[in-house]
A and B are shown apart, each in its own frame.
Chain A
Amino acid sequence: MIQAKYTVVRGDYARAGEASADIKRTLKQLGVDSSTLRRIAVASYESELNMVIHSLGGTLTLVIDNDRVKLTSNDLGPGIFDVNEAMQEGYSTADDIARNYGFGAGMGLPNMRRNADKFAIYSMVPDGTTIEMEFNIG
């Protein structure tokens, strides 16, 4: 079993995407096939960026065993008031800075759900949001 934990800092656009880049690198060294890799790439990047943009910061955890990859994002707040609404395509509360960087289409969460083989989201205001995703490999 392989495990890695990445700290994601609120508002740190300069380093945003580094955790996902490292995750992709690990998966490529393991030889995960291209289409699965692309699905994991999209999901991990979107969850990392959501923590940078919308949360107070948190962690992204990667666990790999012989037949699946598990990605968990866990942040420190503020939580999502209405998760069903947030899961809708096109729903976004992104601010001007985020929109300037090309975010805010409201497609991140729907894309995570679409790309993962298993997807679960738990959120509490003001404690934070946890997203668990699983991908079958091998």
Chain B
Amino acid sequence: MDGRIHSVTLDKERCTGCSNCLMRCPTEAIRVRRGRAHIIDERCIDCGECIRVCSNHAKIALTEPLSSVFAYRHRIALPAPALYGQYRNLPSISLVIEGLIRLGFSDVVEVALGADIVTRAIKEKLKEKGLPKPMISSACPTITRLIQLRFPDLIEHIIDVRQPMEVAASLARKQYAQKHSVSEDEIGIFFISPCAAKATAIHNPLGHSLSQVNGIIAIRDIYGPLLQAMDGLKVGEKETRATRYGIGWAKSGGEAKAVGSIKRLAVDGMEDVISVLEEIENGRLRDIEFFEGAACRGGCVGGPLTFENKFIARNTVKCLGEKLPVTHPDEVIHLEQLPPIPLHFEEDLKPNDSLKLHPSISGAIERMERMQEILSILPGYDCGSCGSPTCRSFAEDIVRGYCTQNDCIFLLRDRLKVMAQEMIDISQTKREHSNDN
């Protein structure tokens, strides 16, 4: 697993070095140096916040264009349930499915169906005895990466069930290959994604080594073509195979509702998720069994690569779900009857050590002592003009050797004052000398 491959990157041409993104990054992964933003790759968790706030559109997510699907003889679309929320007054999910076929996909397997299966697997997991409390959902890859980086001691709380996207992809590949008697590697599987985090998750899967997804298409990019493709379509027979619960995963709280434990908690938005993780760490949430955290406000309908306003999208998804029967995954998904597809992690999640100051504690203490010395002479304004998000991170950057004290304009100003005074002093000494003559 290589933490350096990730989806959010900078378009250098467009970045003006304005620093808008600098303070908004929840992991302090951004620096502005020599008039341009940089992302410290190991620390980026692909939350997409910098994509949202950049007014120059210089922060981008690496996803595939729609045309890339034609590199495969057989192409399966995996729409995230958040896609359904993008079309106001959508009468039925069948239109989206038929529309995707019109766009050139050979088949469509809904990620909401994956979510139904994952719901069952999570419910089974929660029955195990002696689990730490609360168990934490692994559905949002940004939150999983946040925990690896900032809350490594909570890794054991993460539920070791794969993401709905992966489960849907495994199922799609197996069933399609069987039904059409084609080889599994002739099939290209494309996830239609609300976020960059899922794009990273296919290059860099969490809890297993290989992804079953071949490419990611941003909801934003497919929105227009799909709208056209749906034009004139009538509500058809290709109805959704998912339950209303699986579809509800697009909204924050949807997963917790599907899992159905009474002692559950769902929180959306980075700041609030972070404060709940702090509480879990402090041992103050032991009476909760299941915690669902979504990086995006509103859940995946609020993902950075979506098109529609998140509140409207949320409502659309809700209405579509309510049209379906009140069937729970428990009634229709029987894990033992599924084809053999992997549902669980095959490797442990590892902590991301890139916030550590040094591999050894004594080395790290030494560095922190120097940081504290530097911090004591910094003004503490957290102004960002040095290019680091806070004075503390600036002190850290100096100790790590990435910049010098002169990058702080306040320290520089003080030094200039001293130098200017010295110049005056020197010039006056000269005059005194000349007076002596």
Chain A positions within 8 Å of B155 at CB level: 34
Residue from the list B278, B281, B282, B368 in contact with A29, Cβ < 8 A? B368
Given A31-B353, A45-B283, A111-B283, output 8 extra A-B contacts at Cβ < 8 Å: A3-B372, A26-B368, A28-B152, A28-B355, A28-B356, A31-B356, A41-B153, A42-B282
Residue from the list A20, A30, A38, A46 in contact with B365, Cβ < 8 A? A30
Q: Enumerate chain B interface residues (CB-CB to A < 8 A).
A: 150, 152-153, 155, 278-279, 281-284, 351, 353, 355-362, 364-365, 368-369, 372
A65 close to B (CB within 8 Å): yes
On chain A, the number of residues with a Cβ less than 8 Å from chain B's Cβ atoms is 28
Q: List 15 A-B contacts (CB under 8 A).
A: A2-B365, A17-B278, A17-B279, A21-B278, A24-B278, A28-B152, A28-B356, A29-B357, A31-B358, A31-B361, A34-B153, A34-B155, A41-B153, A45-B282, A65-B365
Chain A positions within 8 Å of B355 at CB level: 28-29
Chain B positions within 8 Å of A30 at CB level: 356-357, 361, 364-365, 368
Contact B365 A41 (CB under 8 A): no
- Interface members, chain A 73-125 (any B CB < 8 Å): 102, 111
CB closest chain-A residue, reference B155: A34
Residue from the list B283, B356, B361, B372 in contact with A38, Cβ < 8 A? B283
Chain A positions within 8 Å of B150 at CB level: 28
Chain A positions within 8 Å of B278 at CB level: 17, 20-21, 24
CB closest chain-B residue, reference A17: B278
Contact B283 A29 (CB under 8 A): no
**Bound state CA distance, A26 and B150, in angstroms?**
11
**Bound state CA distance, A128 and B278, in angstroms?**
28
Q: A20-B282, A24-B281, A37-B153 are in contact. Are A32 and B361 (CB under 8 A)?
A: yes
Chain B positions within 8 Å of A65 at CB level: 365
Contact B372 A41 (CB under 8 A): no
Chain A positions within 8 Å of B357 at CB level: 29-31
- Measured between C-beta atoms, what is the minimum distance from B191 to chain A in Å? 32
Chain A positions within 8 Å of B356 at CB level: 28-31
CB closest chain-A residue, reference B274: A21
Contact A45 B284 (CB under 8 A): yes
Chain B positions within 8 Å of A28 at CB level: 150, 152, 355-356
- Measured between C-beta atoms, what is the minimum distance from A73 to chain B in Å? 15
Q: Mark A20-60, 1 if CB is under 8 A from B, else 0.
A: 11001010111110110110011001100000000000000
A64 close to B (CB within 8 Å): yes
Chain A positions within 8 Å of B369 at CB level: 1-2
- Measured between C-beta atoms, what is the minimum distance from A135 to chain B in Å? 13
**Bound state CA distance, A1 and B362, in angstroms?**
10
**Bound state CA distance, A41 and B151, in angstroms?**
12
Chain B positions within 8 Å of A37 at CB level: 153
The 5 closest A-B pairs by CB, nearest first: A34-B153, A45-B282, A30-B364, A42-B283, A138-B361
Contact A64 B365 (CB under 8 A): yes
CB closest chain-A residue, reference B150: A28
CB closest chain-A residue, reference B287: A102
**Bound state CA distance, A34 and B155, in angstroms?**
10
Residue of B155, B359, B361 with most partner-chain A CB within 10 A: B361
CB closest chain-A residue, reference B361: A138
- Measured between C-beta atoms, what is the minimum distance from A112 to chain B in Å? 11
Contact A102 B284 (CB under 8 A): yes
Contact B281 A38 (CB under 8 A): yes
Contact B152 A66 (CB under 8 A): no
**Bound state CA distance, A74 and B152, in angstroms?**
30
CB closest chain-B residue, reference A33: B153
**Bound state CA distance, A93 and B225, in angstroms?**
64
CB closest chain-A residue, reference B357: A29
Chain A positions within 8 Å of B362 at CB level: 66, 138
**Bound state CA distance, A46 and B281, in angstroms?**
12
- Measured between C-beta atoms, what is the minimum distance from B370 to chain A in Å? 11
- Measured between C-beta atoms, what is the minimum distance from B268 to chain A in Å? 20
Residue from the list A21, A45, A66 in contact with B361, Cβ < 8 A? A66
Contact B365 A35 (CB under 8 A): no
- Measured between C-beta atoms, what is the minimum distance from A126 to chain B in Å? 29
Chain A positions within 8 Å of B364 at CB level: 29-31
CB closest chain-B residue, reference A107: B283
**Bound state CA distance, A17 and B365, in angstroms?**
24
Residue from the list B152, B279, B358 in contact with A34, Cβ < 8 A? B152
CB closest chain-B residue, reference A2: B368
CB closest chain-A residue, reference B369: A2
**Bound state CA distance, A42 and B278, in angstroms?**
10
- Measured between C-beta atoms, what is the minimum distance from A22 to chain B in Å? 10
**Bound state CA distance, A31 and B365, in angstroms?**
10
Chain B positions within 8 Å of A32 at CB level: 361
